[in-house]
Structure 1
Amino acid sequence: MGPTLPVSKTQVHVVIGSTHRFSHLEKAKVIGAHLIKRGYPVTILAGPSVRDEIESIGAFFAPMQGRAGGSSTKPEFNQPPPPWAKEMEVSALTNFFIGPIPDEYKSVQDVLKALQQEGQTNVIYMDDIICGAMLPVYLGAPGAIKPNGVIKIGTTPIPHETADTATWTMGIPPQSAHPASVGEMWETKKDIYRSEEIQQHFVNVLREMGVPADKLRSLPRFMHSQGTCCDAYLALSIPEFEYPRSDAPESIHFVGALPTVGNVPSSLPEWWDEVIHAQGSDRKPIVVVSQGAVNNDPTDLILPTIEALKDEDVTVIATLVRGPKITADLPSNVKLADFIPFDTLLQYTDVLVSNGGYGTVQMALSLAVPMVLAGVYLDKYYTNSRAAAMGAAINLGCERVEPGVVKKAVCSILSDQKRKEQCLGIKGRYAEYNALDQIVAFVDELAQK
Structure 2
Amino acid sequence: MATILICLQPFAGHVNPAMPLVRGLVEAGHRVVVMTGRDHADAVRRAGGDPVGLPPGTDTADPEVVRRLARRSELGLLARMRDDLAGFVEPMAEQSRVIDAVVAERGVDVVVADPMFFGALPQALRAEGPPVLVLGLLPLMRPGGGSMQGRAERWIMTRLLRPVQRLAQEQAAHRGVVLDRFFMWWTTASDGVLQLSGPSFEPAAREDGGGAPIHFVGPLTRSDGALPPWWTELRADRPTVLVTQGTLANADAAELIDPALAALADAPANVVVTTGGGATPSVVPSNTWVADHLPLDSVLPRCALLLTNGGYGGVQLALRHGVPVALVGATEDKAEVLARLRSSGAGEGIRTVRPRPRQVRRLVEQILGDERYRRRATALSEEIERCGGVAAAVEIITGAARSSSVRVQRPRAECGRVQGDTCWVVYIGPADHGAGWSSGLEPVAAASTEEQAHQLLERLLSVTPGRANLIEDYPYRADDERHGGGAGSGRTVHLVVTLDDGPSVSTVFDSIDEAGRHADDLRRLGEAGVTIIDMVMDVLPS
Report the TM-score when normalising by structure 2: 0.68
Change (3 A) 1:132 1:400: same
Letter in 2 for 1:237: S
Correspondence for 1:429: 383
Aligned equivalents of 2:153, 2:294: Cα separation in 1: 41
Cα deviation for residue 267 of structure 1 reads 7.7
| Secondary structure at 1:271 match in 2 | helix
Amino acid at match of 2:260: T
1:71 to 50, 61, 64: 61
1:442, distance to aligned residue in structure 2 (A): 1.1
Distance 1:239 1:164, change over 3 A: farther
Which residue of structure 2 aligns with residue 306 of structure 1?
A: 261
C-alpha RMSD over aligned residues: 2.7
- Spell out, residue by residue over 1:255-297, the C-alpha distance to the aligned partner (whole angstroms, 9 max, x if none): 242242468xx9854423x24xx5xx64431111111122222
CA distance in 1, matches of 2:18, 2:54: 14
Equivalent AA in structure 2 for residue 104 of structure 1? Q
Provide the residue aligned with 2:102 in structure 1: 111
**CA 1:434–1:134 in structure 2 vs 1: closer, same or farther (change >3 Å)?**
same
CA distance, structure 1, for counterparts of residue 365 and residue 42 of structure 2: 43
Query: For the structure 1 residues 28 and 422, does the alpha-carbon distance in structure 2 shift closer, same or farther, using more than 3 Å as the test?
Result: closer
1:149-164 matches, within 5 Å, as: 149-164=131-146
Deviation at residue 191 of structure 1 after TM alignment: 4.2
Aligned to 2:255, the other structure's residue is in SS state: coil
Structure 1 contact 238–254 (Cα < 8 Å) conserved = no
Aligned to 1:229: 189
User: Does residue 16 of the first structure (1) align with residue 2 of the second (2)?
Assistant: no
Q: Which residue of 2 aligns with 1:318?
A: 273
Match of 2:170 among 181, 184, 204: 204
Correspondence for 1:271: 230
What is aligned with 1:29?
19
Q: Which of 132, 139, 143 lines up with 2:118 in the alignment?
A: 132
Residue 223 of structure 1 and its aligned partner are, at CA, apart by: 0.5
Gaps (5+ residues) in structure 1?
A: 1-9, 117-121, 166-171, 180-185
Counterparts in 2 of 1:259 and 1:439: CA distance versus 1, 3 Å: closer
How far did 1:69 drift? 2.7
| Separation in 1, partners of 2:207, 2:349 | 27
SS of the residue corresponding to residue 238 of structure 2 reads coil
Residue 420, structure 1, aligned to residue 412, structure 2: no
1:146 maps to which residue?
129
Unaligned segments of structure 2, at least 5 residues: 404-542
- Partner residue in 2 for 1:182: none
Q: 2:292 matched to 1:338? A: yes
Q: 1:405 to 1:346 in 2, by over 3 A?
A: same
More strand by share: 2
Q: CA–CA distance in 1 between the matches of 2:89 and 2:113?
A: 15
Residue 154 of structure 1, CA deviation: 1.0
Aligned residues between the structures? 399
Rounded to whole Å, the distance in 2 between the matches of 1:100 and 1:341 is 35
CA distance, structure 1, for counterparts of residue 58 and residue 278 of structure 2: 23
8 Å CA contact 1:24, 1:155 repeated in 2: yes
Asked if structure 2 preserves the Cα contact closer than 8 Å seen for 1:30 and 1:262, the reply is no
SS at match of 1:436: helix
* TM superposition score normalised by structure 1: 0.81
Which residue does 1:168 correspond to in 2? none
Contact 1:372 1:410 in 2 (8 A): yes
Instruction: Determine if contact 1:77/1:294 at 8 Å carries over to the other structure.
Output: no
Task: Report the counterpart of residue 48 of structure 2 in structure 1.
Answer: 58
**1:50 and 1:83, CA in 2 relative to 1: closer, same or farther beyond 3 A?**
closer
Mapping 1:164-313, distance limit 5 Å: 164=146, 173-174=149-150, 177=152, 189=157, 191-193=159-161, 195=162, 197-209=163-175, 211-212=176-177, 215-216=178-179, 219-225=180-186, 227-244=187-204, 245-249=206-210, 251-261=212-222, 269-272=228-231, 274-275=232-233, 282-296=236-250, 297-313=252-268
Q: CA deviation at 1:150?
A: 1.8
Deviation at 1:325, TM superposition (A): 3.1
> In the TM superposition, what whole-angstrom CA distance separates every residue of 1:19-66 from its partner, at most 9, and x where no partner exists?
220010012212111111222221111111221111111111111221
Kept after mapping to 2: 8 A contact 1:20/1:47:
yes
Q: Higher relative CO (CA 8 A, sep ≥ 6), structure 1 or 2?
A: 1
Identity percentage over the alignment? 24
Q: Residues 67 and 103 of structure 1 are in contact (CA less than 8 Å); yes or no, is this contact kept in structure 2?
A: no
